[in-house]
Structure 1
Amino acid sequence: MQPTWQDVLEITEQYRHTKTEYWLSENVYTLSWWILLITSIGIFIVWIIILDKKRIFEIITYGFFVGTVAIYADVLGVWLDFWHYPITITPMHLPFEIHRLQMPIIYMVIYQYFKTWKTFLIAAAINAFIFAFPLESILVWLKVYEPIQWKHIYSLVPYFLIATVLRWIINKFKQLDKNYQ
């Protein structure tokens, strides 16, 4: 028997209910949940304080690009069963705290402070290494991130490419903007 759209809707509803129940019983107020919440709020506050207000549009645009690419990559990775997120701040399917908040902020800080390509590439490489190995390992230990068919080494190149390709794109937009003024 072929699944119908109604079958998909029923399974989706069942998934949402099960995920919410799991989240309420296994996530909320655990040590990992508190760490996610506190680090998310802390990183956001520090970023607001150090943000270069003169370049706010440029920096935030870069951050939105980083967050968007990260979310699409995450959706694909979860869909392909490469990894999952057992603990999240909210019961939503994907964690907004990591790829919508923390990762873009860290990338924006690098973008803001490392202005030449040479220093930016070095900072992006160090960041990619830290994200791929110590950070992902900590997230596994906290049970926030669960790699299924993924190894930390696989993350190294995407983390680096997200930073560098998006910086290149922003630079191209800035050049176009200057040409049309």
Structure 2
Amino acid sequence: MNEFDKIVELGKKGQKALNQYWLDYSLYASVEYWMMVLFFAGPLILLLFKIDRTKIFRIAFYGYSVHVFFGYEDLFGRNMGYWNYPFPVIPVLPGISMDSSLIPVTFMLVYQWTLNHEKNYYLYATLTAAILSFAFKPILVALGLFKMYGNVHYFHLFLSYFSVVILAKVITDFFVWMKSHAKTEQNDGSTT
């Protein structure tokens, strides 16, 4: 337990150092910081106007699934030292702009579009994952908003996005199936 306590203490020191870095360099006053704020607030505002309210719970459940799974993957990547965000909106939640807004909302709108236009979700989600991995992330890297370390490549990011959107879709489909199955059972029970 002593070793574990030392590890926890190291984590606290690391977070304290990040908080101090955020304050010392006045990251909250930089253009990069405000871009990250925009990446957080902008998609959420857009979603308020664009979400299909007739399917809001299904789309929101899907988006929440993307948020949770992507948050786990992003946390894993940051904890392993694979990547990080030099200009966090909130130092204790470095990836909040991406994890909680930009990525989930992007995929929610793709999911909604494929539902409403009866298009192949897997094709368009994969294309979106590719665009985010091979076009958007390199732009973030060039702007200094995202850093990758070690042998991490954009293909690794693509695999991360791809696994999240597949898992989110499978989970959503499972709950949609359970809901429709429950209605069928209710109807069968009331007719007998």
TM > 0.5 fold call: yes
Distance in 2 of aligned mates of 1:99 and 1:71? 5
- Aligned residues of 1:128 and 1:156 also touching (Cα < 8 A): yes
Distance in 1 of aligned mates of 2:61 and 2:95? 21
- Aligned residues of 2:18 and 2:91 also touching (Cα < 8 A): yes
Deviations 1:44-77 (A, max 9, x none): 1111101111211111111111111111111211
Runs of at least 5 residues in structure 1 that lack an aligned partner in the other structure: none
Partner of 1:46: 46
Partner of 1:143: 144
| Aligned-residue identity in percent | 21
- Aligned residues of 2:74 and 2:95 also touching (Cα < 8 A): no
Please, what is the CA RMSD of the aligned residues? Answer: 2.0
Partner of 2:126: 125
CA-CA distance at 1:128 after TM superposition: 1.0
Distance in 2 of aligned mates of 1:136 and 1:39? 13
Partner of 2:112: 112
> Aligned pair in 2 of structure 1 residues 9, 163: CA closer, same or farther (>3 Å)?
closer
CA-CA distance at 1:6 after TM superposition: 4.6
**TM-score normalised per structure 1:** 0.89
Aligned residue pairs, count: 180
Distance in 2 of aligned mates of 1:145 and 1:117? 35
Partner of 1:178: 180
Distance in 2 of aligned mates of 1:101 and 1:41? 7
Distance in 2 of aligned mates of 1:40 and 1:74? 16
Distance in 2 of aligned mates of 1:43 and 1:58? 18
Distance in 1 of aligned mates of 2:93 and 2:36? 16
- Aligned residues of 1:75 and 1:94 also touching (Cα < 8 A): no
Q: AA paired with 1:81?
A: G
Distance in 2 of aligned mates of 1:160 and 1:9? 32
Q: AA paired with 2:146?
A: Y
Partner of 1:153: 155
Instruction: Report the 3-state secondary structure (helix = DSSP H, G, I; strand = E; otherwise coil) of the residue aligned with 1:109.
Output: helix
- Aligned residues of 2:69 and 2:168 also touching (Cα < 8 A): no
**TM-score normalised per structure 2:** 0.84
Deviations 1:8-52 (A, max 9, x none): 454333223211110123321211111111232121111110111
Distance in 1 of aligned mates of 2:125 and 2:99? 16
Runs of at least 5 residues in structure 2 that lack an aligned partner in the other structure: 184-192
Distance in 2 of aligned mates of 1:87 and 1:25? 13
Partner of 1:68: 68
Distance in 1 of aligned mates of 2:92 and 2:129? 26
